[in-house]
Amino acid sequence: MPEKKTKKKPAEKTVETPNKQLSPEEIVTYFKDKFTTKIKSAEIKKRATGSKKKEFVNIWMKIDKSIFKNFIEHLCNLTYPHLAVCSGNDLGNQIELVYSFSIYYGKHLQEISLNVGVEVPKSKPEIETICDWIPGALITEREKQEMLGIKIIGIPDSRRLFLPDDFPKNVYPWRKDEQTKKEIEKLYKNLHEGAKKK
Amino acid sequence: MSQITKTTYQLPIGPIHPALKEPVMFKFEIDGEKIIAVDVELGHVHRAIEWTGMRRNPIQIIYLAERICGICSFVHPMAYCRAVENACNIQVPERADYLRVVHGELERIASHLLWAGVAAHEIGFDTVLFLTWEMREKVLDLIEYLTGNRVTKAILMIGGVRRDIKPENIPKIKETLEYFKENYKKLSHVFLDDKTFKMRSQGCGILTYEDALRLCAVGPTTRASGVKKDVRVDQPYAAYSDLDVDYMTPDKRTGEINGDVYDRIIVRLLEVKQSIELIERAVDQMPTGDIMSEPKIPKLLNYIKKTAGEGIGRDEAPRGEVIHYIKFDGVNEQPFTWKVRASTYANILPWIPMLKGQQIADISIVAASTDPCMSCTNRVTIIDKNKKYMLDKEQLHKLSVEKTRRLMR
């Protein structure tokens, strides 16, 4: 029980507004100073729209798995982010998770989209939960568990979300390896033949 | 022993009803009339759209994305097209940006009016349902006039839109907007000044500012709790950066923020008015020029095939932020990854604090207040000790109507 309480506390603290708003470049240097080489890459993409050609900003970062939880903690202390979604790429030996945050919302044209990519090895696909910092991450974390077979350590609710209960275990539809392809094919291969027989 | 000490019982609602647009299963823990705990189960209509999309080419996906939701049939392909444009660095012509605003806002009006009708029906005001849906017909007529279809419009293309608004179309747009301005007063009077509406919606289904932030709520649901969050303002896309959009929060009308169902009604109605003005301004300020960056589809497809990159497209749908993530590997025509996050996905968790402490008769209006496409509930099985009896959707609706009548006395 006392463990749970300590976990909840930091999440409550973070709902405070920050004193100073950083520019996209400052955000990148802030994290690079903190984590040095553990930030594998950082890119700022600006694009303009409309006739007045006002720009919006996307930051793409790739970070090491070892600092992931620490990174989220720093981000939450900087400003409380909105987690839009966590997407996943099957890269072969690695699975990349892309957390799309948006920060500094609430002011015209000030918002920055921050996309953080983390790679986890397919042989041991594990990552820590961020639900203690951002409780709204639960739905997307549960989805990653069932669709990509990522084990989320410390997830408050590990049930399936979208997949039905009779869907085979250890088959993860968004993985791209040969074995998954075969397993998925089994599920729909004879669907039409079965319908014809009837 | 356990039968005597147990004071609560379980109440499952859902998952399927012909009127449900998005089947969802609720499991309530009930103490008398009061809800103690809520659990939500999803996935009854998971159609593996993303999986299918990863086996289609980028143009085919536009039409697949259009079929994710019947009401948001513009915003989903829009978010998808913007994700591809960001990933492959495709510039959209200025005129197309303005046309996207017009179509997006028409969809918002249609969606909010549909929701207002459903909300009125849920608390037993079927005359208001017909009033709002009569207005909605006018938007659908205009959408059909401009795009050729009422719902699945197939208006978008990567790098622009497929149909232009010609000068001869403008009088019809203005005429419809005039009709809305006239009827908007009546609509806001019915919804916001009516005593019974207030009694049913004020103080009901409250979502606090902190909960809205922490649970990552989006759209009118989060704005009604006072969180200033609207992609159209925060990170304007298309021509919204030129058009001076503002956050619609309930304090604009009442001066205070409660985060209840009433506040969500206010936000949506204010947004209808905002959309009318936005369309008017967009039509007036629209620059001339091309509407597509690359009209030759095979050339466009070939360009996308050769480009490697990833991108996101974030849009403000009527229900809140929609985000699409796309990744191309530069070899295959099909995207490497396509992830769709619809707005209701983010508004599932906020239901839990909203529904806790409410009465059974309030379930339908509170659940409907996030506009989740699932306001109708199928059947309810009440397991009370050893007795088991069923409540169907009609009876649940009747309970809600009876509560309204009770309050009116």
pLDDT at B147: 92
Angle between helices B261-285 and B170-193 (to 10 degrees): 160
Which chain B residues are within 8 Å of A50, Cβ to Cβ? 94, 97-98, 236, 238-242
Shortest CB distance from A106 goes to which of B42, B217, B228? B228
Picking from A63-72, B37-46, B235-244, B301-310, which range would have the lowest pLDDT averaged per residue?
Answer: B37-46
The mean pLDDT of A171-188, rounded to a whole number, is 86
Position with higher pLDDT, B6 vs B213: B213
Closest residue of A to B159, CA-based?
Answer: A49
| pLDDT higher than 90, residue B172 | yes
DSSP state of B376: -
Task: Name which of A17, A46, A87, A115 to mutate to probe chain B: the one with the most chain B Cβ atoms within 10 A of its Cβ.
Answer: A87
Task: Name which of A108, A132, A141, A145 to mutate to probe chain B: the one with the most chain B Cβ atoms within 10 A of its Cβ.
Answer: A108
pLDDT at B370: 77
Which chain A residues are within 8 Å of B214, Cβ to Cβ? 11, 15, 134-136
- CB contacts < 8 Å between A and B, how many? 137
pLDDT per residue as tens digits for the range B289-324: 999 999 999 999 999 999 999 999 999 999 889 999
Which chain B residues are within 8 Å of A105, Cβ to Cβ? 228-229, 234-235
Name the band, by pLDDT with cuts 50, 70 and 90, for residue B386: very low
Which chain B residues are within 8 Å of A98, Cβ to Cβ? 310, 325
Strands A112-121 and B308-317: unpaired
Angle (CA) B307-B312-B315 rounded to 5° is 135
Which chain A residues are within 8 Å of B339, Cβ to Cβ? 85, 87-88
Shortest CB distance from B325 goes to which of A87, A137, A173? A87
pLDDT at B21: 52
Across the strands, what pairs with A95?
A90, A120
Name the band, by pLDDT with cuts 50, 70 and 90, for residue A108: confident
> CB–CB of B97 and A161 under 8 A?
no
The mean pLDDT of A142-169, rounded to a whole number, is 88
Name the band, by pLDDT with cuts 50, 70 and 90, for residue B5: low
Tokens of B84: 């591809």
Position with higher pLDDT, B251 vs B26: B251
Distance CA B326, CA B333 (A): 13
The mean pLDDT of B281-295, rounded to a whole number, is 92
Residues 122-151 of A with CB under 8 A from B: 134-140
| pLDDT higher than 80, residue A72 | yes
pLDDT at B373: 52
Picking from A82-91, A160-169, B331-340, which range would have the lowest pLDDT averaged per residue?
Answer: A160-169
Name the band, by pLDDT with cuts 50, 70 and 90, for residue B199: confident
pLDDT at B94: 93
| Residues B311 and B90 sit within 8 Å (Cβ to Cβ) | no
pLDDT at B375: 26
What is the number of other CB atoms lying within 10 angstroms of the CB of residue B386?
6
Query: Where do the domains of chain A lie, and which CATH numbers do they carry?
Result: 2-166 (3.30.460.80)
Closest residue of B to A130, CA-based?
Answer: B214
pLDDT at B43: 76
Shortest CB distance from B214 goes to which of A87, A88, A134? A134
pLDDT at A5: 38
> CB–CB of A49 and B312 under 8 A?
no
| pLDDT higher than 70, residue A148 | yes
> CB–CB of B235 and A111 under 8 A?
yes
Closest residue of B to A132, CA-based?
Answer: B214
DSSP state of A53: T
Distance CA B184, CA B404 (A): 24
Mean pLDDT score of chain B? 85
pLDDT at B18: 41
| pLDDT higher than 60, residue A197 | no
> CB–CB of A113 and B235 under 8 A?
yes
| pLDDT higher than 50, residue A7 | no
Q: Max alpha carbon distance in chain A (Å)? A: 69
pLDDT at B385: 43
A18 has a chain B CB within 8 A of its CB: no
A183 has a chain B CB within 8 A of its CB: no
> CB–CB of B216 and A107 under 8 A?
no
Query: Where do the domains of chain B lie, and which CATH numbers do they carry?
Result: 2-45+347-408 (3.30.390), 49-346 (1.10.645.10)
Q: Is B309 left (phi over 0), alpha (psi -120 to 50) or beta?
A: left
Main-chain phi, psi angles of B192, to 5 degrees: -100, -20
pLDDT at B369: 80
CB contact burial B59-88 (16+ within 10 A = b; e otherwise) = bebbebbbebbebbbbbbbbbbbbbbbbbb
Angle between helices A68-78 and A24-35 (to 10 degrees): 140
Position with higher pLDDT, B364 vs A11: B364
Position with higher pLDDT, B75 vs A8: B75
Listed in sequence order, the DSSP H helices in B169-260 are 170-193, 195-201, 209-214, 219-223, 231-234, 251-254
The mean pLDDT of A31-36, rounded to a whole number, is 90
The amino acid at residue B392 is D
Distance CA B8, CA A184 (A): 42
Instruction: Report the predicted TM-score, pTM, of the whole model to 2 decimal places.
Output: 0.88
- Give the closest-approach CA distance of A50 to chain B in angstroms: 4
> Which segments within chain A are labelled E, that is strand?
39-49, 54-63, 82-90, 94-103, 112-121, 126-128, 151-153
pLDDT at A8: 40
Distance CA B246, CA B248 (A): 6
H or E, element range at B400: helix B393-408
Position with higher pLDDT, A191 vs A51: A51
A163 has a chain B CB within 8 A of its CB: yes
Within its chain, how far is the Cα of B281 from the centroid?
A: 23
Shortest CB distance from A162 goes to which of B42, B215, B247? B42
| Residues B58 and B52 sit within 8 Å (Cβ to Cβ) | no
pLDDT per residue as tens digits for the range B49-85: 888 888 899 999 999 998 888 888 899 999 999 999 9
Across the strands, what pairs with B89?
none
Please tell me whether residue B337 adopts helix, strand or coil conformation.
strand
Strands A126-128 and A151-153: parallel
pLDDT at B119: 85
Distance CA B200, CA B182 (A): 27
> CB–CB of B234 and A98 under 8 A?
no
| Residues B40 and B352 sit within 8 Å (Cβ to Cβ) | yes
A187 has a chain B CB within 8 A of its CB: no
Name the band, by pLDDT with cuts 50, 70 and 90, for residue A195: low
Percent of chain B with pLDDT strictly greater than 90 = 49
Shortest CB distance from A84 goes to which of B50, B94, B341? B341
> CB–CB of B51 and A174 under 8 A?
yes
Distance CA A71, CA A64 (A): 10
- Give the closest-approach CA distance of B284 to chain A in angstroms: 14
Please tell me whether residue A39 adopts helix, strand or coil conformation.
strand
| Residues B312 and B324 sit within 8 Å (Cβ to Cβ) | yes
Which chain A residues are within 8 Å of B81, Cβ to Cβ? none
Main-chain phi, psi angles of B274, to 5 degrees: -60, -40
Distance CA B361, CA B364 (A): 7
| ipTM here | 0.86
- Give the closest-approach CA distance of A145 to chain B in angstroms: 14
Torsion of CA A69, A74, A80, A86, to 10 degrees: -30
